[in-house]
Chain A
């Protein structure tokens, strides 16, 4: 499968910065994948994501979209940004217009769509994030979760192929962040490529099919979440802790209580397997005693 986004040996230093925010980062993002960029604060996750739609231009190295290196003239950038949608961490930064409807319409209007198509795009995007009936509300009267959905709808209305989320669940309560993650699940299952950055290993473990572990501006590891998060030394180096579920199942497997592979994705799956191994054990013993 050809990678949709290819990043080759990219480095960046912020203007006036002393150290490189990211140095020598290379990776590939395949079409239709769900990738989580995991790392502690200051690992360079946001800097890296801002390069994917050309907001930051790397000092050295190349970013390729569909095989072609990014061009930084305004026409190519506009085209790129339509195809790679970026949802900012703080929705207050992203929401520009005085009403929800006008804000979601911002992208489509600037793409030059005819009014009917703009209306349809806005309606579909608001339906998708579950904000029907919010059209005339001003953003300052919305809750944090609602603002996040407006920000996501504003990007969805441009119908991008790749969605990039910078810390999608930051400062949201557990229920709301669960809903946002469900929305991301839904988007990814409809064939869009979804990338997010987070320092929540539990979230990354459950959601992603590919994890990129970052620390101090470098890629420390990449692979399936159960592989990356099973290496305690790697996680310590990245100032993170393994997901509780994975740590528990690894320990159970280590003590021979359950089979090692494949690691469970949910509590129910783990409990099922413990139950199965207990009942196997019991029937073995039962057969033994009868004999």
Chain B
């Protein structure tokens, strides 16, 4: 079986909390992070939601760290660029022989951006790791998202796993016949893998149409339902949390590290 975010979303300890509340908390945190004028509030979100993911939801730290590393490493790369190209204020550091320098303004902007991305990513992962997609579909239907989009999302969700399984099968059959021995072979095999996947995708698409026809498809999908109501206690706790973050972001807006 594959270790997927979806798997953890199904088995974590926050599964009994209403998906609507988790989604609300995640989205509101992202908004607060991106709108915060100073880096303290986003860092607070990052720390508190990471704690919630690790302690309350019991997601293994290694899994969480690996998942977090992917977007954060991308952010690091862009932040390094920003560090050098933004000007303003006294110069902190100059690269010898090149017209590149880090200024106070640039450093502050880089820290702010990194904090925002970090906080936002933690909030997004909080939703991704604690809320199963099937419950998100039900929620989307409830809040009136067009059914075409939901149906499409449900089909995509269903086929992601079939796609992974097929790719895995082809990859294994290639490895068994020593397909990835040398570099040139690897390139060759990868090309074959992608080509085969493309053809299988078309086949699957045709089979899907047949299957839907055979089951009297007339334009409606049934959306999975769920029955978790928002408990007043957790709702109030969420509001208090978001209020605190908002207050912190207002209070610490002018605070600068350098």
* Shortest CB distance B254–A (Å): 47
- Known contacts A109-B220, A109-B222, A140-B161, A96 near B212 by CB under 8 Å: yes
1/0 per residue, CB under 8 A from B, across A93-127: the answer is 11111110110011111111000001000000000
Q: Are A78 and B157 in contact (CB under 8 A)?
A: no
* Shortest CB distance B45–A (Å): 30
Q: Are A81 and B214 in contact (CB under 8 A)?
A: yes
Which residues of chain A are near B161, meaning CB under 8 Å?
A: 138-140
Q: Which residue of B lies closest to A92 (CB)?
A: B162
Which residues of chain B are near A102, meaning CB under 8 Å?
A: 134, 154, 221-224
Q: Are A138 and B134 in contact (CB under 8 A)?
A: yes
Q: Are B221 and A106 in contact (CB under 8 A)?
A: yes
Q: Are A136 and B214 in contact (CB under 8 A)?
A: no
Chain A to chain B contacts (Cβ below 8 Å), 17 pairs: A55-B213, A92-B162, A93-B207, A93-B211, A95-B158, A96-B158, A96-B208, A96-B212, A98-B157, A102-B134, A102-B224, A105-B222, A106-B221, A110-B215, A110-B218, A136-B224, A138-B161
Say what secondary structure dominates the interface of chain A.
helix
Q: Is B55 an interface residue (CB 8 A)?
A: no
Q: Is B137 an interface residue (CB 8 A)?
A: yes
Which residues of chain B are near A154, meaning CB under 8 Å?
A: 215
Q: Which residue of A lies closest to B218 (CB)?
A: A110
Q: Is B216 an interface residue (CB 8 A)?
A: yes
Q: Are A78 and B222 in contact (CB under 8 A)?
A: no
Q: Are B134 and A136 in contact (CB under 8 A)?
A: yes
Q: Is B155 an interface residue (CB 8 A)?
A: yes
Which residues of chain B are near A110, meaning CB under 8 Å?
A: 215-220
Q: Is A88 an interface residue (CB 8 A)?
A: yes
* Shortest CB distance A59–B (Å): 19
Q: Are A98 and B215 in contact (CB under 8 A)?
A: no
- Known contacts A98-B133, A98-B134, A138-B134, A86 near B214 by CB under 8 Å: yes
- Known contacts A136-B134, A138-B134, A99 near B214 by CB under 8 Å: no
Q: Which of A93, A98, A118, A141 contacts B154 (CB 8 A)?
A: A98
* Shortest CB distance B218–A (Å): 5
* Shortest CB distance B120–A (Å): 27
Q: Are A99 and B224 in contact (CB under 8 A)?
A: yes
Query: Could you list which residues of chain A lie within 8 angstroms of chain B, going by C-beta atoms?
Result: 53, 55, 77-78, 81-82, 86, 88, 92-99, 101-102, 105-112, 118, 136, 138-141, 154-155, 158
* Shortest CB distance B33–A (Å): 30
Which residues of chain A are near B225, meaning CB under 8 Å?
A: 101
* Shortest CB distance B251–A (Å): 43
Residues of B in contact with A, size category: 20 to 34
Further contacts, 6 of them, CB under 8 A, given A93-B211, A138-B6, A138-B134: A88-B211, A101-B224, A110-B216, A110-B220, A138-B161, A141-B10
Which residues of chain A are near B211, meaning CB under 8 Å?
A: 88, 93-94, 96
- Known contacts A96-B212, A98-B134, A106 near B222 by CB under 8 Å: yes
Q: Which residue of B lies closest to A155 (CB)?
A: B215
Question: Which chain B residues in 187-219 approach chain A with CB under 8 Å?
Answer: 204, 207-208, 210-219
* Shortest CB distance B55–A (Å): 26
Q: Are A55 and B210 in contact (CB under 8 A)?
A: yes
- Known contacts A110-B218, A139-B158, A98 near B213 by CB under 8 Å: no
Q: Are B218 and A112 in contact (CB under 8 A)?
A: yes
Which residues of chain A are near B10, meaning CB under 8 Å?
A: 138, 141
Q: Which of B158, B204, B213, B226 contacts A97 (CB 8 A)?
A: B158
* Shortest CB distance A95–B (Å): 8
Q: Which residue of B lies closest to A79 (CB)?
A: B216
Which residues of chain A are near B222, meaning CB under 8 Å?
A: 97, 102, 105-106, 108-109, 118
* Shortest CB distance A60–B (Å): 22
Question: Which chain B residues in 25-51 approach chain A with CB under 8 Å?
Answer: none
Q: Are A98 and B216 in contact (CB under 8 A)?
A: no
Which residues of chain B are near A93, meaning CB under 8 Å?
A: 204, 207-208, 210-211
Which residues of chain B are near A138, meaning CB under 8 Å?
A: 6, 10, 134, 161
Q: Which of A78, A96, A109, A118 contacts B155 (CB 8 A)?
A: A96
* Shortest CB distance A142–B (Å): 11
Q: Which residue of A lies closest to B1 (CB)?
A: A141
Which residues of chain A are near B212, meaning CB under 8 Å?
A: 96
CA distance A259 to B139 in the complex (A): 68
Q: Which residue of A lies closest to B165 (CB)?
A: A140
